[in-house]
């Protein structure tokens, strides 16, 4: 089984070398709301070498303090597909909604819930944090 996804116009496609759909998290921060144009961002964390992307990818770097987020997006329709960050080299942050099977994903954690839209209720038992989560709690949920 291969896990695949791509942008809205299909010019950029990717395959993930993993054998099941990855767990995802929701980030409710203002930046994610603005950037996604939506309620929250839904993302998966994967080793960067597991991502095989093809097509006209373009890049956008955003530096905040001492860290730079290196975004990959389709050069035609500008869908964001994933990014890496100098703070955590080697980890790809995938936009989970770009997966072909995005309707079958689980959200295993919610962060920045102090900024979430009020109608959205985090299901009981799903870990959530008011702001960012401590990596030692967060990464095992997402990366095993
Ligand atoms: Zn596209
Ligand atoms: Zn966010």
Residue 49: give its domain's CATH number: 3.90.1590.10
Domain count, the chain: 1
Residue 89: per-residue pLDDT: 95
Domain containing 26 equals: 3-143
Residue 2: per-residue pLDDT: 80
- Percentages helix, strand, coil for the chain (3-state, rounded to 5) are 20, 40, 40
Compute, in angstroms, the gap from residue 72 CA to the centroid of ligand 1.
Answer: 11
The ligand placed nearest to the CA atom of residue 85 is 2
Residue 38: per-residue pLDDT: 96
Residue 1: per-residue pLDDT: 66
Quote the CA–CA distance of 134 and 144 in Å, as a whole number.
15
Residue 34: per-residue pLDDT: 96
CB atoms within 5 A of ion ligand 2 belong to 27, 29, 32
pLDDT along the chain (144 residues), means of 10: 93 96 98 96 97 98 95 98 96 98 97 98 97 95 90
Compute, in angstroms, the gap from residue 34 CA to the centroid of ligand 2.
Answer: 9
Residue 144: per-residue pLDDT: 79
Residue 25: per-residue pLDDT: 98
pTM here is 0.94
Compute, in angstroms, the gap from residue 126 CA to the centroid of ligand 1.
Answer: 33
Compute, in angstroms, the gap from residue 115 CA to the centroid of ligand 2.
Answer: 10
The ligand placed nearest to the CA atom of residue 76 is 1
Compute, in angstroms, the gap from residue 136 CA to the centroid of ligand 2.
Answer: 18
Among residues 47, 15, 20, 19, the alpha carbon closest in space to that of 139 is found at 47
The ligand placed nearest to the CA atom of residue 80 is 1
CB 11 within 8 A of CB 73: no
């Amino acid at each position: 089984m291969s896990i695949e996804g791509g942008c809205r116009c299909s010019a950029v496609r990717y395959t993930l070398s993993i054998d099941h759909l990855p767990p995802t998290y929701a980030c409710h921060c203002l930046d994610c709301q603005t950037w996604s144009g939506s309620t929250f961002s839904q993302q998966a964390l994967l080793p960067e070498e597991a991502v095989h992307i093809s097509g006209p990818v373009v890049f956008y770097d955003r530096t905040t303090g001492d860290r730079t987020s290196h975004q990959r997006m389709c050069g035609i329709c500008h869908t964001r597909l994933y990014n890496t960050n100098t703070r955590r080299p080697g980890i790809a942050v995938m936009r989970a909604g770009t997966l072909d099977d995005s309707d079958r994903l689980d959200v295993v954690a919610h962060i920045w819930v102090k900024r979430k839209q009020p109608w959205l209720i985090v299901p009981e038992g799903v870990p959530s944090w008011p702001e960012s989560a401590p990596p030692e709690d967060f990464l095992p949920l997402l990366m095993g």
